[in-house]
Structures are given as C-alpha cells and as structure tokens.
A and B are shown apart, each in its own frame.
Chain A
Amino acid sequence: MSNVESLPRRILQSIIGFVRGWIESVRVKKRDYLVAAVELILAGLTGFLVAGIVLLVMGYDPIWIYSVLFRYGYSSPGYLGARSAALMMTGLAFSIPILAGVFNIGGESQLYLGALTGLVIAYYTGNIWLGLIAGFIGGAAWGLLIAALRVYRGINEVITAIMLNWTAYYLIIYIILKYLPNPTQSHLSIQIPENMMLSYSSTFWLAVLGAVIAYILLYYTDLGYKMRIAGLSPRTAVYAGFNPRKAILFSMLLGGGLAGYGGALHIIGVASAFDTTMSTVFGLGFAGIGVGLLGRNHPIGIIFASVFYAGLIIGGQFVELYTGAPPYLSDTIIGIIVIALAIPYAYRMMINYITLLRGGGK
C-alpha cells in the first residue's frame, strides 16, 4: 500500500477513532450528561416561571414580555454574536480559574484593563491586531496581580478582586477624562475609526477562536492538565510533582488575559470607545460569572451560554423599549434565570465538598 493511499485512510481512521472514543465516553458518562441536561432544563423552566411570577406581581404580562424578549433578542445574528464576544471571554475568565480552584470575580476589571490597553494601542498604532494582543496582556497582568497576592501573600482572591474592580473602574474614568478625551464628543473617549472596526461576525469568530484555544490549552496540553489536577485535588498535584501555585498563577494569567482580550474585542468590534460613565463595559465581567456557570465551566459550553446570555441582554433592551418596563426588570429576569441555572451546580459542588469533609475524617 502506498503512502498516498494510506494518508487519507489514516486521517479517516483517526476521525473514526475520535468519534468512537467520544461515543464511548458519552455512553459511560450517560448518567452524568443526563443529569446535567435535566438540571439545565428544569432550572431554565424554573427561572422563567419565577421571573414570570415576579412580572405578574409587578403588573406586566409575562407572555408578552417573554415574546418580545425572544423575538428581538435573537433576531439579528450578527449583532448577537458580536455582543456575546465579551461575555464569552469573561465567562472563561471565571471558569478557567475555577478549574484550578480559584474564584475569580475580577473578570470585570480585567476586562476594563484589556479594553483600555486595547483601545490605546489600536488607536495609536492603527493596528487592531496589536490592540487585541495588548488587551490580552493588560487583562493578564491585572489577573496575575490577584493570583500573585494569593500565592505569595495568602490574600484571599475574592477580596483582592472586589477591591481591584473598583480601583480599575475609577482609574479608567480618570484616565479617559484626563488623557484620552474625545475632541468631538465630550461624553466619549478617543474612538476607533469606523473603517478600522472589526465586523460583527469577525468579532464573534475571534472570540470563538479564543474559547477554542482555551479548550485546547485546558484539555490537550500539560499546562491545562496540571491545572485541572491541582484544582480537583491539590494533594494529588503535589504527589505527581506538579506545583499547585503555578497552576493558580497560570489560570489567572489565562483567565485575566482572555477577559482583557474580550474587552479589547468589545471596543474594537462593538463599542469603538469608552464613555465617561463606563456604561459600555460595566457589568460584562460580572455577567461572565453567570455565563461560566451556565456553560458548566467548559469552554465549548461557554460559547453557547454567552450567545444565550447576550440574547437576553439585547432582548431586555427591547422589552424596555416596547413594553415600558423599567430597565432593571430585564436584569431581574436574567438574574433569576441565571441563579436558577446555577443553583443545581452550586448545590452539587457543596455536596461534593461535604462528602469530601466526611470522608476525610477517620
């Protein structure tokens, strides 16, 4: 058999092998997948039901509100994709550290930093690719700071992240007003020119690329493998000769970097500039926590979760427009749905923790 014949055959065989392996793993973990699916469906239903009751109590017709929400939220695929880019990245910024056993709620400020460095570099160099790279670096540095304080000084990452979120918030407002004012529109920062902006679809696919790279790093390299081991069982990591500290640093570097990349994508692909009240970026990082939980902390799941979530956000704006419901109402609905979806997961994490404690005793 010649090489020319065997090459496609080998590719075919490896594809078959991969699919077989996948089917096998589905078969074995059937129960786990089934439980996850049932949980998601039940949680979704509960979320919409509870939110519906809230709407009724407040005097709105839930059917009407939901129909607006879904009709307009998902009607424009391009825009939907672009809006999900930043959420996808902040979702990963939450989930990747979770896999290493770190609770990163600093995705918000990591996104700010990345958006700022991305904007500045893209604006002054005229090169959006450099801007995206700068965004990653800015977010990574901010994330690494949190990790370093945890690893070398034992400071709880949640505290650091909360404080740094506000530090970044005011710092950036200050920088925009003082150093980057827009000469023509006083409520904006310097602006990426229209012709340089990424298209909606490239914005989305660049985000998907980020998620896929994260997926490969996590599941197909030793860095990700060691990180996941350290997250699931630090003692096992030590036994195998891995350094759990490195895992924490790496997870925050990657998570923070992706949040920053998401911030840069959001500026270069959607918003084009900061506004002086930060309303274009505010909340994207916090929403990432919900996206990460919804996506079950898996990069591929997070891609879908971010699109779903972005649709809710867009639809929520239309709900406000068409029904006159206050803007907070859509936030409330989203909040309830996300909580409902996250509860079973959080519940299982708690159960695992408790069994660990019980079994740990003699």
Chain B
Amino acid sequence: MSGEEVVVMKNIHKIYPDGVVALRGVDFTVKRGEIHGLLGENGAGKTTLMRILYGEIKPTRGEIRVFGEKVSFHGPWDAIRRGIGMVYQHFTLVPTFTVKENLYLSLLSVNPKASMDEALERVRRIVEETNLKIPLEYLVEELPIGVQQRVEIVKNLIREAKILILDEPTSVLTPVETEELFKALERFKEMGLTIIFITHKLKEAKRITDRITVLRRGRVVGTVETNRVDVKDLARMMVEREIIFKIEKKPARRGEALLEARDLHVLDDRGVEAVKGISLKLYRGEIFGIAGVQGNGQRELAEALAGIRRVESGRILLHGRDITGLSAAERYRYGLAYVPASRRIGLVSEMNIVENTALTNLYRVLMKMRVINWSKASSIASEVVRRLEVVAPSLTTPIKYLSGGNQQKVMVGREIVREPDVFIVSEPTQGLDVAATEFIRRTLIRLRDEGKAILLISSDLDEVLQLSDRLAVIYEGKFMSVGRPEEYTLEKLGLLMGGVSV
C-alpha cells in the first residue's frame, strides 16, 4: 500500500491579487492507493491547495509533480488529462440534462469524438467495478444530493481519473449517504485509486483516511499516519495557536434576557435542515459567541433570528415578546440589528454612503407621503462616519470606492446609530486589516459595556475567545456545548468544532 508518491507539491506559495496570502510554503505528498485526509479550519488553505493541484488556479511559487513528472497546468483540462479529478461541494452538473447526458458531456470534454455508446459502455464498466448505482435516465435536478454526488464521482471516473479530490464531500450528505460514500471510497482504494479527502470533521478523517495532512493558516502543521493519532491530537494540530488576550475588558454586567430562541429549526437554501433545534438566551450586557467552522448552520441561524429566513418550528422572543411571525423590517424597528457576514449582502456597492445608511434606517428618515428626507439621511450618515471613524472622500462616494474596513464600519455603524438593544453580528472582521479588526472588536466591547446584547457569530477562534462572555460551539446545526470561554481549552474547542463531543 505504501506505494510511490503520485502527487508531490513542494514549497507551494499562493498570494491572491488582493494581497491575501493563502499558502505560505506548503509541502504535500500523496502516495498511490491511499485515502489522504486534508484537515484544517476555514481559511487554512485546504481548498486553495487542491484548486492549485486541479489546475484551476496557479501557485505564486512552488513545484508540482504528478506521477513523477513535473507539471504546470494551465487549467483543469490539463489536470484531467493527467488523471486528476475533483468533486466540488457545489456540483458541476447540468441540472436540466439527464444523468446519461451529463456523463456523455464529461467524456466529450476529454475526447470530442466519443460516442454516446462509448460513454455508456464506460459507465457500465464503472458501475460493475464500483457498485455505484446511478439512474441514467433521470434529470439531474430531480435527484437527491447524495445521488448527484455519485454522478459527479462517476463523471470523474469515466474520464479515467486516478487521483480523486473530494472537497468536504459529506457536508451535503445525510449520515446514511455518508456511510455509503465511505463504502464506495474503500472500494476505490481496493481498485487502486488515490483519494484526497478535504474535511474539517475529525471523526470522518479518523474513520476513513490512511494518512492526514493538517493545514493551519497556509502552513503544514504535519502529516501523520491516521492509526497512530487520536482525534485529540488532530484537534490540537488543527487549532493550536498562541492566544493573546490583547483586548482588555471589564467583567460583564449581565442584565435581563433580551433575545430568546426556543428549539429553532431552520432550512437552508436547498431545503435541507441546517439548524436542528437550537435554543439560546441572550442577555443585556453580554457578548454571546458562537464558534464553529463555516457552513454549520450559522448563517441560517442568524437569518432566522433577523427575520430574513423562515422558521420551520420554534419561537423567537425579543424583550419577551414573540416576534417569530414578524418581518425583518419590523424586527429592526423593535430594536434588533443584524450585521451579515457578507458585505455583498449588507451593502449595495453602486450606492453611496448615505443611500447605504438609509437601508436599515429607512423608518427614521421617512416623512409624510413616503418621501425620503435625504438631508436627515445625510446627517445620520455623517454620524456613522464620525462615530466609526470611516475614511471616505465624501458622503456621496459610492460604497465600492471604500476599503473593505471602511465598508464594514459603515455596515456596523449604521446599526449602532439607531441604538438597537440586540446585535446579531456575523463574521464582523472577515478580510479586514489589523487596525480595522481591532477597531470593530473594541466597538463591540463598548456596545456590550453600554448594556447592549450581542450575539457574535464567527469562525475566527481568536475573535470569539477574546470577545465572548459566553461561548457556544456549533456543529451541523446544533450547539455542541455552551460555556465560559475560560472553560474551553484549545484542544476541546478543536474537538467540538470537529463534531466530537467532550
């Protein structure tokens, strides 16, 4: 089994055009016939590394060898020709084509002269060999996600992939489907395929892989034989860091409960349950942190609380009053504020600071006959600029000309100036520089000290550990635990984020 090295990536660096450093000298080796886990938090560089191997993006520096040969891919087609296949989290199938047509299409991309019969023959052979059942005549959009994923895998196999990269393949699957996938992967291994398995779920990594490489902040922490480590070791490798509590804060003076959620169940955009029975109480004068790897139901939870997403079951109370049936605009008026994770959602980039400020302050600037009082909106906008120290040429500057940090300040500031009691803040410092990050974090603490209640949802461990008075870890739509940040060790956090209860 410990065969030749089929993939050797040496000293890979990747700096994106916007200056973000994703990889800082990664060495990564995969042996023939193994299932190799690639483990790490958000932003550790897992997906970037694999997109480089798949030829989708080019490394800034570094050398890649596939099957012993030095390669420089211009695009995925080069990688496919070398026998590399990739299954993304979001599938690349044509929804309105049948399975058969999709498979034929993928064969055409490597062999334009192939016939449908040839494609079907290959599919038959693969199905026989792998025992993967796929309904050939169905439209892809009619199939459950798990089956679509199988089609996606077969699609790579008929192009004769020898190395299969799976990007968080279980994130869209039910437990039963996951088990089926694992059985298939084991069969692939017997057939001699090599599999690279990207994940942040510790138990899965432990269960299915032969070796694991752990990435953290663009660097390799280490590569280990899976049977020589336990999940605790993996958790430690994944999250280990020096935590500096550089923000001093007074002890929280907790008041009454302002926002309460009772047994919330919420669906995601695909209709799959993303929040599976979360209850929480948010008190005046505290920051309640929710840590977790992105995509574990954080967005759906925040949107349900804000009134943007429908609640399947459960109740939401604001000031003890049931607001489950209220619209977002009404909730905002009753003292709730929501700062979304993405500035693309929170801001309209073509509009200026005044127009963007009016977005959630609209009820404050409306006069008789539904006329907008733009001079009032301007004065609110200038208050945002003044209080949040936004650097902008003028109030009428389109928001797209502002730096990310200043955009974020506008998005946070326009909520602050309308003095709500409850803030739901999602990834407030994502992609910001050090100074802006520091400023936003201090602002959150100041709000807490002023007696606001803050729900801080963040996948940045430093952030939640530094700011939270209480901290919950979310995994697959449920809280793994709730406690004070001091009660968590890094290892424990890593385990909880990876879905291992402690």
A242: which B residues are within 8 A, CB to CB?
Answer: 329
Find out whether the CB atom of B372 lies under 8 angstroms from the CB atom of A220: yes
28 A-B pairs, CB-CB below 8 angstroms?
A: A17-B375, A21-B396, A24-B394, A25-B352, A27-B394, A28-B393, A28-B396, A28-B397, A28-B398, A222-B370, A225-B358, A225-B362, A233-B345, A233-B349, A235-B345, A236-B344, A236-B346, A239-B306, A239-B308, A239-B345, A239-B346, A240-B328, A240-B359, A240-B362, A241-B329, A241-B332, A359-B344, A362-B47
User: Please, which residue of chain B has its CB at the minimum distance from the CB of A243?
Assistant: B327
Instruction: Determine if B372 and A24 form an interchain contact, defined as CB atoms under 8 angstroms apart.
Output: no
Is B344 in contact with A235, judged by CB distance below 8 angstroms? Answer: yes
Within 8 Å of chain A (Cβ to Cβ): is B374?
Answer: yes
Q: In the complex, what distance in Å separates the CA atom of A210 from the CA atom of B348?
A: 28
Given A24-B396, A241-B327, also A221-B348 (CB < 8 A): no
The reply to whether A240 and B372 form a contact with Cβ atoms under 8 Å apart is: no
A119 at the interface (CB under 8 A from B): no
Selected contact of A236 from candidates B348, B362, B371, CB within 8 Å:
B348
CB distance from B406 to the nearest CB of A (A): 14
Chain A interface residues toward B at CB < 8 A? 17, 21, 24-25, 27-29, 220-223, 225, 228-229, 232-233, 235-236, 238-242, 359-360, 362
Contact present for B328 and A223 (CB under 8 Å): no
Chain B: minimal CB distance from A357 (Å): 12
Nearest to A18 among chain B residues (CB) is: B375
Q: From B328, which residue of chain A is reached at the shortest CB distance?
A: A241
Query: What CA separation (Å) do A362 and B346 show in the bound complex?
Result: 18
**Chain B residue nearest in CB terms to A216:** B371
Which 8 interchain pairs have the tightest Cβ spacing?
A241-B329, A241-B328, A25-B396, A240-B359, A221-B370, A232-B348, A235-B345, A222-B370
Question: Contacts A235-B344, A235-B345; is A241 near B358 (CB within 8 Å)?
Answer: no
Least CB distance from A227 to B in Å reads 12
B371 touches A221 (CB 8 A): yes
For B351, the closest partner residue in chain A by CB is: A232
**Chain A contacts for B360, CB-based, 8 A:** 240
CB distance B338 to A233 under 8 Å? no
Which residue in chain B gives the minimum CB-CB distance to A32?
A: B398
The CA of A25 and the CA of B352, in the complex, are separated in Å by 10
When chains A and B are docked, how far (Å) is the Cα of A359 from the Cα of B332?
Answer: 29
Interface residue? B297 (CB, 8 A): no
Report A-chain residues with C-beta under 8 Å of the C-beta of B330.
Answer: 241
Bound-state CA distance A225–B306 (Å) is 21
Assembled-state Cα–Cα distance A28/B401 (Å):
10
Q: Which residues of B contact A25 (CB under 8 A)?
A: 352, 394, 396
B417 part of interface (Cβ distance < 8 Å): no
- Given known A-B contacts A229-B359, A233-B344, A220 and B307 have beta carbons under 8 A apart: no
Q: Is B366 an interface residue (CB 8 A)?
A: yes
How many contacting A-B pairs (Cβ < 8 A)?
77
Pick the residue among A220, A222, A238 that contacts B308 (CB under 8 A): A238
Check B350 against A239 for contact (C-beta < 8 Å): no
Bound CA–CA A222/B396 (angstroms): 18
Complex CA gap A235/B351 in Å reads 15
Separation in Å of the B183 CB from the closest CB of chain A?
Answer: 29
Q: Would A236 and B345 count as touching, CB distance under 8 A?
A: yes
Query: Complex formed: what's the CA distance from A24 to B381 in Å?
Result: 15
Q: How far is the CB of B156 from chain A (nearest CB, A)?
A: 20
Q: Which of B317-346 contact A (CB under 8 A)?
A: 327-332, 338, 340, 344-346
Any chain A CB within 8 A of the CB of B347? yes
Taking the closest CB of chain B, its distance from the CB of A151, in whole angstroms, is 18
How far does the Cβ of B6 sit from chain A's closest Cβ, in whole Å? 26
Complex-state Cα separation, A242 to B362, whole angstroms: 11
Nearest chain A CB to B50 CB, angstrom units: 12
Residues in B neighbouring A362, C-beta threshold 8 A: 47
- Give every chain A residue within 8 A of B370 (Cβ-Cβ): 221-223
Report whether A233 and B348 are in contact in the complex, using a CB–CB cutoff of 8 Å: yes
Task: Determine the chain B residues whose CB is within 8 A of the CB of A360 once the complex forms.
Answer: 344
A236–B366 alpha-carbon span in the complex (Å): 19
B394 lies within 8 A of A28 (CB): yes
Minimal beta-carbon separation of A22 from chain B (angstroms): 9
Determine the distance from Cα of A359 to Cα of B369 in the docked complex, in whole angstroms: 39
Q: Is the CB of B350 within 8 A of A232?
A: yes
Nearest CB in chain A: distance from B32 CB, A: 29
Neighbouring B residues of A28 by C-beta, 8 Å: 393-394, 396-398
**Chain B residue contacts of A228, Cβ below 8 A:** 351
Nearest CB of A to B350, in Å: 6
Residues of A within 8 A of B47 (CB): 362
* Contact in complex: B327, A236 (CB < 8 Å): no
| Nearest neighbor of B396 in chain A, beta-carbon distance | A25
Q: Give B366-382 interface residues, CB cut-off 8 Å to A.
A: 366, 369-372, 374-375, 378
Q: How far is the CB of B445 from chain A (nearest CB, A)?
A: 25
Given A28-B393, A222-B372, 17 more pairs with CB closer than 8 A: A24-B396, A25-B396, A29-B398, A221-B369, A221-B371, A229-B351, A232-B348, A233-B345, A233-B348, A235-B344, A239-B306, A239-B308, A239-B340, A240-B328, A240-B359, A241-B307, A241-B332
**Chain B residue with the shortest CB-CB distance to A238:** B308
- A229–B372 touching, CB < 8 Å: no
Q: Within the complex, what minimum Cβ distance (angstroms) separates A133 from chain B?
A: 19
- Among A28, A232, A239, A362, max chain B CB count under 10 A is at A239
- Complex Cα–Cα for A27 and B307 (A): 39
Distance from A4 Cβ to chain B, minimum over Cβ atoms (Å): 23
User: A221 to chain B: which residues have CB within 8 Å?
Assistant: 369-372
Chain B nearest Cβ from A173, distance in angstroms: 39
A360 to B343, CA, bound (A): 12
Residues of chain B in range 166-205 having any CB-CB distance to chain A below 8 Å: none
With A and B bound together, what is the CA distance between A83 and B358 in angstroms? 39
User: How far is it, in angstroms, between the C-alpha of A170 and the C-alpha of B4 when the chains are bound?
Assistant: 76
A29–B395 Cα distance when bound, in Å, is 12
* Residues of A close to B398: CB separation below 8 A: 28-29
Residues from chain A with a CB closer than 8 A to the CB of B346 are 236, 239
Contact of B371 among A220, A229, A241 (CB under 8 A): A220
Within 8 Å CB of A239, what residues of B?
306, 308, 328, 338, 340, 345-346
User: Quick one: which of A29, A240, A362 has the most chain B CB within 10 A?
Assistant: A240
- Cβ-closest chain B residue relative to A360: B344
What is the bound-complex CA distance between A258 and B348, given in angstroms?
A: 27
How many Å from the CB of A98 to the closest CB on chain B?
14
- Chain B residues whose C-beta falls within 8 Å of the C-beta of A359 in the assembled complex: 344
User: What's the minimum C-beta distance from B255 to chain A, rounded to whole angstroms?
Assistant: 27
